[in-house]
Structure 1
Amino acid sequence: MNYAIAPSPVVSLPINGSDQRFPVRRVFCIGRNYADHAREMGATVDKETPIFFCKPTDALVSDGADVPYPQATADLHHEVEMVIALGAGGSDIPVDKAAALVWGYAIGLDLTRRDLQAIAKAKSHPWDVAKGFDHSAPISALVPASQCQVNEQTRISLRVNDTMRQQAPLGEMVHTVPEIIAALSRLFELKAGDLIFTGTPAGVAALQRGDRFHAELEGVVSLEGTVT
């Protein structure tokens, strides 16, 4: 293929315990998937209509890289989330078939320019500039589903400068992983390589330059980094 400009490199994630990497196709996210987080944001949960948005693949920050504080904000917030990686996809996937599509798990942060999000909400504008900015998705290595156990009792957590900020069991999610996959597949044709950030519990707060964070998917994988 003769390209007019050099093509962008394939975005990929490390795989725990392997020299292979996982190529990323799309990054989907679900909002308001923990009721206590929705309440702290002054919102309600509509079980019948999940809220989805996307981040660009090059927003991912992996391999232990630092996270630069973004431009155009004075209120950068953390949102710790379990991330699932799909090994297969489809459209209109039944809930009872969805879990089999999960290739692996990670822990990540959905970083949010909260001040820009508040402005967008007030004007009924899209959230893109608040969610899809550069370096807005720090993420750990992936752990294959065949090598770990994740269930309703598994906890996600986030410490900032050794202080616990967020923690909750996955059982508190409003929409389960199979339900998220099924709902997304009614809106998009999902494919191998897709990532899904599955929502954040209460406790979101600001990050500052110099902050150190430690996110964990209990018993599976962790993520450490520094905001620079």
Structure 2
Amino acid sequence: MMRILLAEDEKELSRVLIAAMQSTGYEVVPVYNGLEAVKEAESEIFDAMLFDVMMPVMTGIEAVQKIRAAGNQTYIIMLTAMAEVDDKVTGLDAGADDYITKPFSLKELLARLRSLERRNENYTEDTLDFGDITLVTTEQRLESYNSISLSAEETKLLNILILNSKKKLDNKTLIEHTWGKNEKIDSEMLWIYISYLRQKLQSVNAHVSIYGNKRGPYQLINNSKEDPK
């Protein structure tokens, strides 16, 4: 199930979009200005973000620029009433991946989200680097000064921690993105997997550690000041 950040200041349109996406099974977090969107993107994990262009406090374009500058690569769709080509180019240049011009069909929006969902399910980066470690996802292997095999769950958990290394992730977020909402995994089981990963990071002599106690939140930390990848 995808988790979507919706930044739309028109309350009635926001309600319609939320209802449509929730009826499809998506989880939606609504905000109503660009600054709120930036704050949510800094602290939470999303599979997609929908941004209106014209919003108070901070425009959608400015919000996207700040989110991209922070290293967040979440897929972003701009919702814009501006039909001029230059306006669309500005949004794409700011870091958006796609745009839909208002008024738009809900069927079109949901079709694009389904396409993104299929792509996310079928695509995983082969390798991820952080500090002095490399995660080879296709082979479930952790590498640093030597290498060690990981379980499927350990690989997915470390993948999430690397991709969101600038965020402190709570137990609920890590459990849902590693095992899904339907699995009966609790904080105690998560703590066991965190402990496994800590041991394996030590065993490959990595200068990378996982911050946090059993209650969370957790964050991947680069302890090395030399030759970060």
TM-score (norm 1): 0.23
Q: Which has the higher helix share?
A: 2
Q: Which has the higher strand share?
A: 1
Q: State which structure, 1 or 2, has the greater radius of gyration over its C-alpha atoms.
A: 2
RCO higher in structure (CA 8 A, sep ≥6): 1
